[in-house]
Amino acid sequence: MAKATVLVVEDEKDIIDVVDFNLQQAGYRVLKATDGAEGLRLAKDQSPDMVVLDLMLPAMDGKEVCRRLKQGEATRDIPVLMLTALASETDRIIGFEIGADDYLTKPFSPRELVLRVQAILRRSQEPTGDEAPLNLTGLTIDPSRHVALAGEQELDLTATEFKLLHYLAAHAGKVQTREVLLSRVWGYAYEGYARTVDTHVRRLRKKLGPLAERIETVRGIGYRFREEQ
């Protein structure tokens, strides 16, 4: 099997070296860019399997790079792991709203970075070919084509949002805790990252429009997809 390629966009040389070394050790091919413009160019030309993107970059910051990646036809489906020194909830939400798939706060351990990269790649490369489409009143989810329809309208979902919606809908009527969703959808279960689920649910509801209320919040526990409206 070919090595997966990870593009790292980071201006701090020490961090680039650590990330490069550890990802190579884990068996990945690493592309490096030290500013946003170069990162965008490499993403377009080399089609990496994912991008590790620093938030604080000179000239064009990580948010803008992420926004442009998600707007580009050739780059919109490449998962993005954001690196940042800012740990506040606001910054997390901003990261997810512009389409980042995951978030890692500096300082991070190389091991945690590698685990996150592995989880993201596993999630985006998972074969979904033999799964039958789900039909729930007003909502159709076809995992083999990676298409979700609200009525006749195709929803524009990121890979993570699609997987989250599919998991909730496939278990309609059953309450899912944030911890279960983290481990089934994101592929890891770290304490303190339950908020990741909340921000993705919020974004997913926004995209679901009139169907938003099908995802119910179960106070103190998690979320449940309502079977019928």
Using CB under 5 A as the binding rule, the residues of this chain from 54 to 83 that contact Ca ion are: 54, 56
Identify which of residues 85 and 221 has a Cβ nearer to Ca ion in the complex: 85
Burial of 80 (0-12, 13-18, 19+ CB in 10 A): buried
**Minimum distance, C-beta of residue 57 to Ca ion, in the bound complex (Å):** 6
Identify which of residues 14 and 152 has a Cβ nearer to Ca ion in the complex: 14
Work out the number of other CB atoms within 10 angstroms of the CB of residue 134. 16
**Minimum distance, C-beta of residue 78 to Ca ion, in the bound complex (Å):** 20
CA-to-CA distance for 97 and 63, rounded, in angstroms? 10
Closest-CA residue to 6 (of 38, 177, 227, 26): 26
**Minimum distance, C-beta of residue 9 to Ca ion, in the bound complex (Å):** 9
Angle 51-81-35 from CA coordinates, rounded to 5°: 50
Identify which of residues 11 and 142 has a Cβ nearer to Ca ion in the complex: 11
Q: How many CA atoms lie within 13 A of 195 on its CB side?
A: 13
Identify which of residues 84 and 176 has a Cβ nearer to Ca ion in the complex: 84
The one-character DSSP state at 213 is G
Using CB under 5 A as the binding rule, the residues of this chain from 110 to 139 that contact Ca ion are: none
Identify which of residues 13 and 219 has a Cβ nearer to Ca ion in the complex: 13
Q: Is 35 one of the binding residues for Ca ion (CB under 5 A)?
A: no
For the beta sheet containing 215-218, the strands, ordered from the edge strand earlier in sequence to the opposite edge, are: 176-177, 222-225, 215-218
CA-to-CA distance for 193 and 227, rounded, in angstroms? 27
Run of H or E including 68: helix 62-71
Using CB under 5 A as the binding rule, the residues of this chain from 40 to 59 that contact Ca ion are: 54, 56
**Minimum distance, C-beta of residue 83 to Ca ion, in the bound complex (Å):** 8
**Minimum distance, C-beta of residue 42 to Ca ion, in the bound complex (Å):** 17
Instruction: Find the residue with minimal CB distance to Ca ion.
Output: 56
**Minimum distance, C-beta of residue 12 to Ca ion, in the bound complex (Å):** 5
Identify which of residues 54 and 198 has a Cβ nearer to Ca ion in the complex: 54
How many residues of this chain bind Ca ion (CB under 5 A)?
A: 3
Contacts with Ca ion by CB under 5 A lie at: 11, 54, 56
